[in-house]
Every structure is written in C-alpha cells, then in structure tokens.
Amino acid sequence: MAVTETLKRRVPLDDVMEELARAENLSSRDEALARAIAIVTFRRLGTLGHALRERLNKPPKDERLMHLLATGAAQILYLDVPDHAVVDSAVQLAQNDPKLHHAGGFINAVLRRVAREREAILAENDPWLDTPTWLEERWIAQYGEELATRIAEAHRSLASVDLTVKSDPESWAERLGGVLLPTGSIRLKERTAIRELPGFEAGEWWVQDAAAALPARLLNPKPGERIADLCAAPGGKTAQLAAAGAEVLAVDRSAKRLIRLEENLARLNLKAETRAIDAEKLDAAPFDAILLDAPCSATGTIRRHPDAAWTKGEEDIRKLAGLQSRLLDKAAGLLKPGGRLVYCTCSLEAEEGERQAESFLSRHPDFARVPVTPDEIGGFDECITRDGDLRTLPSQLALAEHDRSGLDGFFVARFVHKGS
C-alpha cells in the first residue's frame, strides 16, 4: 500500500506512487485514482485515525490494516465513491494479502459503520487533528495560535492550480477561464485536464503555484544576464528566467529530474544549460545573479503534498538548515560584485527562512538585504515581513470562492553583493 510505504520509508508519496505504477503496470486512470485516495488519506490522516479509534474496541496492531481502514474511510467520507464499492475493494485487498486475509469481516464491519456515521464524523471540525503535534507546537510558537490555526485549516483544503504565462496574462486568463491574481499568476477556476487546455502544446504557459513564481520575479532577470538556478528541478523558475532572456545554468543533483526539466523547457520553446551536479561542488565563472531554491522540509506545500506533514521531523529541519547555510555560502562565492542573490524555500519553518537570512548576513558583511516592495508583487503587502523579506502562508490570498483561496508557504530573501 502506498500510504504504508510512504510512512514506513519516510519518502515522498510521489516517489512511492511512481514505483507502484511501474511495478503494478497501472493504467493512467487507476494510477490517478490510487493517488487521489492516498492524498486525501494523508490530508485527513489525523481525523481518520481519530474516527477509527473511536469506533474500535481495540485498534489493530498491524499498521497496514489500520492504513487500509483509513484509505477506505477516506473514500467514504471525502471522495465520490459508492460505499459498497469501497467496502468490497478493501475486503478484496485484504483477502489478497496473506497477512490480512483473515480480516475481511472486520474491515467490512468497520467501514460500514463509518458509512452509517458519516455525518457525525464530518461534524467534528478540529483542524489540528490533521496536523502532527510537533508541527502544531512549532507553528503556534512562531505565528501565534490564531494564525497558526488558519494555516492548519488551509492545509485541509485542496490546493489550487496556478499557471505562469510567458506574456499577456490578462488575455490568457480570459482564454483559460481563470482569475488573474495580483501577483501575476493565473488561477484556474475549475480543475480540468491540463494538457487539453489552450496553449499547452504551444508552450505558452506552465503550472506553477503563485507563491513559487515570486522568487524568480524578485530576482528581476534581464536579457543577456548570466544567471544560475541552483537546485533547479522541476524547472518552473528556470523557465521564468529563460523567458526573460537570461542565459541560464540550471543545476540539480538529480540527473533524472533534470531530464524532466529539459522536457518541460522543450515544450515551452525555451533554452537553458543544464548540469547534473551537487550545487556545493559547482565550479563556474561568477554570475550576474543566482536563484537558490534550497532543499527544505517542504512544510509550505502541505496543501499540495500532505504526506510531507507525516514523513518529516524536527531532525530533518536541523539537517536541512545546515545544508541551506552551506548552499548560501557557496552561492555567495559564485556572484560577481554587484550581483544579486535570491534565496527561497517552500517551508514554514523559521530555521529555513528568517533565521537563515539573518545568519547569512552575519557571515557575509559584503552582502546587503534588498527589501521587497509591494509594487513588485501586485500590492500583496501582507506577505512582506518587517525586515523586507517575503513570507507567504497557505491561509493568505483569500478569494471569494473559498476553494480557490490560498497559496504555498514560501520564504524569500533578496541580497546584493556590495563589492564594486
């Protein structure tokens, strides 16, 4: 089961799903359904566990059985799947497993009870049920209880689909039936097959969360500038830099991910040099500007990747913070005097954001912060910190239609090399 493997190995659900689809030779339709079930299970994992434990005299010791019940309950409560089909499928899965074949009757009884008591379960609406305790404590300490609760609530909603276009966003928003956000991204009003939308085959736009599009915009790339995009895959920011006319070197330690980046650039009719190497080992002539989207805990993308909340821990944040510091130091050494550096992470954690910026400036007195101004981000000033950095939150960018609100959590800091 994808849920069990993801939690056991503490790896991204996307990686597990890719392995599962290949091993089981799943059709695209079956893979999409399996992925949807796993995602909603992780998004509501705390609520599901709470509901199941309240309806079990003694929770099963086998975690796979508990996860099978959770995925079944997730379909009954949150997906448009007939109850009987969910129960039959769960029982069949158990019967095909030598270690769970005896549990068919038990699974049938539990899931049928969940279906009968659906309304009572859904009436319980504590957002913190679906956030691990260690994250709850961190967010309340960092953001205060009211704002932290809004973040937790936002994580229980489906992430929106945003697009970055090469040009003429107003026209493309109209053609695509989307909403033009103040930051310049287009937010789709309805979920649809991306590849079937106008402009996909022609390479006029690409999928990129509105918050993820801000770092490259704040770097302000210019035609002919030599710019490094460190830790570049999957390539949305590389595309932004290339579309601005910059000469881009896209660096990523994963050759496999770089292949996907190159495929995306080919569709978009954009060019960039790629290099599969650990950014810490990069040896290159000084750049005019550098974009460092550093590896992080990804707690800012929990709406989109809810498994991240359950596969990471505080030790991961400490290790990643050390890597981020080293990458920042490396980037500083690769810049020309007067060069610009934008550092960003899709994390809600201060160690990977605000504290990194402070520490970097203390280590590098030859650099200065360049504050973000409201006019650079369409007047979206609520995400500008007192120091002038950018901190977006999943609870921000509220729109009239609640299911189209929010954005990924990002931290962005901008520096300039003061040398001449």
- Domain boundaries of the chain, sorted by first residue: 2-125, 130-156, 210-417
The neighbour count for residue 21, using CB atoms within 10 Å, is 18
For residues 351 and 314, the answer to whether their CB atoms sit within 8 Å is: no
What pLDDT sits at residue 401? 65
- CA gap 342, 373 in Å, rounded: 14
Catalytic annotation, residues: 346
For residues 192 and 178, the answer to whether their CB atoms sit within 8 Å is: no
Token digits of residue 346: 């899709």
What pLDDT sits at residue 402? 57
User: Which parts of the chain register pLDDT below 70?
Assistant: 400-403, 420
What pLDDT sits at residue 22? 86
What pLDDT sits at residue 97? 83
Of 123, 149, 157, 134, which is closest to residue 54 (Cα–Cα)? 123
What residues contact 219, with CB distance under 8 A and at least 6 apart? Answer: 227, 241, 289, 291, 340, 342, 414
Domain 2-125 - what CATH class?
A: mainly alpha
**pTM: predicted TM-score of the whole model, two decimal places:** 0.94
What pLDDT sits at residue 420? 62
- CA gap 272, 239 in Å, rounded: 8
What pLDDT sits at residue 24? 82
Q: Which pLDDT tens digit goes with each residue over 76-90?
A: 999 989 999 999 999
Q: What is the CATH number of domain 210-417?
A: 3.40.50.150
